[in-house]
Structure 1
């Protein structure tokens, strides 16, 4: 049985649930359209810094933040369009703006659609008209995010997009990764290195970007939590970014459509024709063993 409930906390929160599977997802549209929590059998899948979440001026550290119209950061946070310089902060603005909850369904799954439209605030830093419509679908132990990007401008719409999921973890040395790439780029040094499936968690921070993906699926096994997590994606996602910080109970495995600075370099940049649209999705599955 599927259901959608609402509760008013600091923000209106939508709770999608599959009562048979004892799974539920919490969505906060006005706080960046974000999924803040995902539970299965009462166990949290996502990490959430609840104290930081209460401060609207701070970016959310936790849940599944939305990245648009860029992933990562730009040099000096700037890019040029039609000879004019614009400033865009890291990961863009979609994760900071209020979205609107629209369609809800509970027939064969619990689903909620949230929408973000361009406005004067977005056009000051990104001079395009657009609409984003994301549908969160919960069924059993799987969470799917269907995305539609629409260009409402009279000129081509350039963008990259992705997600920044924070997964709650136990002992990081008991994490086993299957990432479909043989190399990564270290964002701090910009150097490329071969990848053998292991990370050195003694580092203060790990920020690695994996390109040339050989399949459309990645898995992480957390032996300390007896949890296997699978991330499936389609051709839209061309990079997976792994990020974590020493001493924190999370790791991030982020599907990106393009790597950093694509708005300037054009590498893997998506460009929609006027009136055009693009649909894509990611799927997460969590299995305890």
Structure 2
């Protein structure tokens, strides 16, 4: 049985449930369209800094933030389009703006669609008319995010997009990370290193970007929580970023459509023609063992 309830917490919160599987999603449209919580049989899959979440002026650290129209940061937060300079903060603005819940369904799954439209605030930093429509689907122990990016401008619209999910973890030394790439770039040193599946979690921060992906699936086994997390993505996602901070109970495994600074370099940039749309999907599955 699938249900969707609405609760007025600090923000209006939509709670999607698969009661048979004992799984739940919490979505807060007005706080960046974000999924804040994902539970299976009472076990939290996502990490959430609940104190930070109460401050609207701070970015959310937890859940599944949406990255658009850039992933990562630009040098000095600046990009140039048609000879004009614009300023965009790290990961773009979609995760900071209010989205609108537009449609919900409870037939074969629990699903909720949230929409973000361009406005004067977005066009000041990103001079395009657009509509994003993301549908969150919960069924069993699987969460799927179906995305539609639509260019409503009269000119081609360049962008990159992705997600920044925070996964709650136990002892990081008991994590087994399976990413389909033989190398990564360390974002701190900008050096490229070979990857054999092992990380040194004694570092203060790990910020590694993986390209040249050889399959459409990655996974992380958390032996301390007896949890295996699977991430499946389509051809839109060309990079995976693994990020974590020492002493924090999370790791992030982030599917990105392009790497940092793509608005300036054009590398893996998606360009939508006027009136065109693009659909993509990311699927997460959490298995306890």
TM-score tier (shorter): over 0.9
Task: Give the structure 1 partner of residue 258 of structure 2.
Answer: 258
Structure 2 counterpart of 1:190: 190
- The alignment's C-alpha RMSD in Å is 0.3
Residue of structure 2 in register with 1:49 after alignment: 49
What displacement does 1:286 show? 0.2
Q: Compute the TM-score of the two structures, normalised by the length of structure 1.
A: 1.00
Q: Aligned equivalents of 2:230 and 2:118: distance in 1?
A: 33
Runs (5+) with no aligned partner, structure 1: none
Where does residue 94 of structure 1 map in the other structure? Answer: 94
Alpha-carbon offset, residue 247 of structure 1:
0.1
Q: Which residue of 2 aligns with 1:246?
A: 246
Structure 1 stretches of 4+ with a deviation exceeding 2 A read none
Q: How far 1:251 moved relative to its partner?
A: 0.1
Alpha-carbon shift at residue 98 of structure 1 (Å): 0.1
In the other structure, the counterpart of 2:79 is: 79
Displacement of 1:97: 0.1
* TM-aligned CA deviation for residue 35 of structure 1: 0.1
Q: CA deviation at 1:236?
A: 0.1
Unaligned runs of 5+ in 2: none
Tell me the distance in 1 between the aligned counterparts of 2:169 and 2:282.
Answer: 21
Report the number of matched residues. 289
Using structure 2 for the length normalisation, give the TM-score.
1.00
The DSSP-based 3-state class of the residue aligned with 2:263 is helix
Query: SS at 1:125's partner residue?
Result: coil
Query: d(CA) in 2 for partners of 1:178 and 1:200?
Result: 15
* 1:69 corresponding residue in structure 2: 69
- Superposed, which structure 2 residues align to 1:96-245 within 5 Å? 96-245=96-245
Q: SS of 2:124's equivalent?
A: helix
Q: Distance in 2 between matches of 1:247 and 1:4?
A: 35
Residue 269 of structure 1: CA displacement? 0.2
